[in-house]
């Protein structure tokens, strides 16, 4: 698995994925976090499922700190 810093392209992909799930969440539409993760992994630079999960938690933390809506299923991880 990659130990390199996330690239701008990877960050763009994972933030876009998060906001797609958030839009479904806010609209009350069902979505599958695991399926989103599986579809995202091949687009990233050898990231683990755990690193994707943790990055989604970082995004929740940023949104929470900004006072915005975030995905409750991704508990905020504030070490960003």
25-50 pLDDT per residue, tens: 999 999 999 999 999 999 999 999 99
Going from the C-alpha of 41 to that of each of 11, 13, 23, the distances in angstroms are: 12, 10, 20
Q: Judge whether residue 2 has pLDDT over 90.
A: no
pTM: 0.92
pLDDT in tens, 63-78: 999 999 999 999 999 9
pLDDT in tens, 47-62: 999 999 999 999 999 9
SS3 sequence, 12-44? Answer: HHHHHHHHHHHHHHHHCCCCCHHHHHHHHHHHC
**DSSP tally for the chain: helices H, then strands E:** 3, 0
Taking Cα atoms as reference points, which of 39, 43, 41, 63 lies closest to residue 51? 41
Structure tokens at 21: 């799930």
């Amino acid at each position: 698995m990659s130990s390199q810093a996330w690239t701008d392209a990877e960050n763009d992909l994972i933030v876009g994925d998060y906001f797609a799930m958030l839009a479904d969440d806010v609209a009350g539409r069902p979505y599958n976090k695991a399926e989103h993760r599986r579809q995202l992994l091949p687009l990233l630079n050898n990231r683990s499922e755990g690193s994707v999960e943790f990055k989604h938690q970082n995004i929740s933390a940023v949104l929470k700190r900004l006072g915005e809506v975030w995905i409750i299923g991704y508990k905020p991880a504030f070490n960003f």
